[in-house]
Amino acid sequence: MCGIVGYVGAENAVEIIVDSLKKLEYRGYDSAGVTILNSDLETYKTVGKISELEKIIPVDFTGHIGIGHTRWATHGKPDTKNAHPHLSSNIAVVHNGIIENYMHLKEKLLTQGYEFLSETDTEVIAHLLHRTMKEDAKLSLLDAVRHIMTEMEGSYAVAVLCTDEPEHIVLARKDSPLVIGLGDHGYYAASDVTAFLRYTRNAVYVNDKELVLISPAGVKFYNNDGQQIEKQIDTIEWNEEAAEKAGYEHFMLKEIHEQPTSIQDTYAGKIFELEGKVILDELKMDEDQLRSLQRVTIIACGTSWNAGCVGKYLFERLAGIHTDIETASEFRYGEPVLCGQVFTLAITQSGETADTLAAIRSSRSYGCKAAAITNVVGSTITRETDSVLFTRAGPEIGVAATKTFTAQLIVLYLMAIHMGTVRGRLSPETAREILVGIKQLPGQVQKILNNKDAIKACAEHYANVQDYFFIGRHLNYPVSLEGALKLKEISYIHAEGYAAGELKHGPLALLSSETPVVAIATKGHTYDKVLSNIKEVKARSAEVIAVANQSDTEIDKYVDTVLRIPDCHELLAPVLSSVVLQLLAYYTAYARGCSIDKPRNLAKSVTVE
């Protein structure tokens, strides 16, 4: 939530900062602003998207050092006065995160004569810095930032300018992402590497409670005690072109179409189907540890939680391990029963999801081994867990997760097969059968994409309804949850996902002829039960859209529309069904004229609680 950028160098900072903000607009698009430090601080900010900011910036506005921000509102409504940067005399600040004790700090600053012009928590940071440097004129900007870090509670990535130090940007981080780019013509700071990939692929990830000083002479990193530290430089594997639309109308559609590649990239080098084996060197647990596990606890939010639900079924069926799935935002406030023989698995696309990070830290306090599934190398979760299993999906810009969801599923399949074979639960023959099926998935997904016209027609037919139901059993239950989530995220249609057997326990009361029901009815051991549920739905006059296998001719007798997936192993159907439902959501939103890549009220990375 929110994106910050900064630049120091020989090029025009205004152009670079605005361009970088466009790359981060998926993180927030309520308002935007930029401050350039010439002889004084020059600031332009406005409500709305980056395009609105561009309209108010003078053509001749230039400089070589500056900061920028794109906002997703948390404290204070989206308007110009709440837009960043926030100023206090000769200091300008941009901030991603939440200062939890800002009201206490604000009240104290008000008694000291400071005037607040916004409703944000960020303005507190600017005034704290001004007060600190006023009280001790010998303090450098870096030391002043380090000093106020002891006063602030919550999460933040901040970038600061001060006219007293006209060649410096100072940055600090706690629980919010921050990365530095090292280029030939300058130095960059941002919430995400996508902001500066056009200019450099050399990046340094900033850890919690670290500070950064950027100047034309270079970049220096400091720990919380003010001691200079050395940092590792990472080379980003994907380039700027991977984060562009490549001719597609929306990032979401592009990313749906990238799934044959992202699925293949995620399992590449890990599958040995002839031996019926999966090699997961990233999982830092030996065979004895895997055999001794008593329980797995999966921790996630949103789409990642839906992937985790599939993981629960897979771990229990293939590996014989009792598995719980926990909502990260609730996990840390309960009293979980954990011990050293419980394996905790965090799933987070960005690796920066605040609730998931807090939950995994809580689980570590019980002595649990912890692993993460994430898409972002260098993200915070990679430093909070013992093992990291990366999805190789490349940058995902659309707010609604698509290719990262199916890539997460692939990692979960690989983990379940690996643990199942090590624990003696899964025979090489069965493992081989599933692994062969996984290697067929990219081609099968492509077949769905090549025949998407039927999905588009279905979406357009039902585009103006007010409610949707999604139902499924076993592995198809979390698919129904994900399908409903995708639809509500981008089309703003009220949608609910249910375990199909639960309809009779209340939800049937909501059905009518105006409520289409999507039934995930792929072949498997629950197929006959789902057919019975479909008949219950039809008896209430609701129209039914079935997601079914290509070879299934029985389903046509009971439903109004059939959306087909290629025949596949029963356990792998969720991947293919999910692609169908992603397209259904996309074309529904398109028909309704919705903002698909940037749905209202949502941001890509939820880095605040």
Name 530's bridge partners.
none
Helix (H) or strand (E) holding 437: helix 428-450
- Both tokens assigned to 538: 């039809």
- Both tokens assigned to 259: 């799934």
Contact 122, 93 (CB under 8 A): yes
Cis, peptide link before residue 85, omega less than 30° from 0 = yes
- Distance separating alpha carbons of residues 323 and 296, to the nearest angstrom: 5
- Distance separating alpha carbons of residues 91 and 585, to the nearest angstrom: 45
Contact 207, 363 (CB under 8 A): no
Contact 438, 413 (CB under 8 A): yes
- Both tokens assigned to 536: 């219950």
Clarify whether 604 is annotated catalytic: yes
* Backbone phi and psi for residue 222, each to the nearest 5 degrees, phi listed first: -135, 150
The residue type at 427: S
At how many degrees (to 10) do helices 573-591 and 453-461 cross? 50
- Distance separating alpha carbons of residues 307 and 356, to the nearest angstrom: 14
- Both tokens assigned to 579: 């692609």
Given the residues 2, 368, 458, 568, the one annotated as active site:
2
Q: How many residues does the chain have?
A: 609
Q: What sign does the CA torsion over 354, 357, 363, 367 have?
A: negative
- Distance separating alpha carbons of residues 84 and 601, to the nearest angstrom: 18
The residue type at 310: V
Given the residues 452, 486, 598, 604, the one annotated as active site:
604
Contact 553, 521 (CB under 8 A): no
The residue type at 449: L
Question: Concatenated DSSP letters for 58-120?
Answer: -TT---SEEEEEEE--SSS-SSGGGSSPEEETTEEEEEEEEETTHHHHHHHHHHTT----SS-
Contact 410, 538 (CB under 8 A): no
- Both tokens assigned to 580: 């169908």
- Distance separating alpha carbons of residues 293 and 285, to the nearest angstrom: 10
Q: Which position has the token pair 């529309």?
A: 561
Catalytic residues: 2, 604
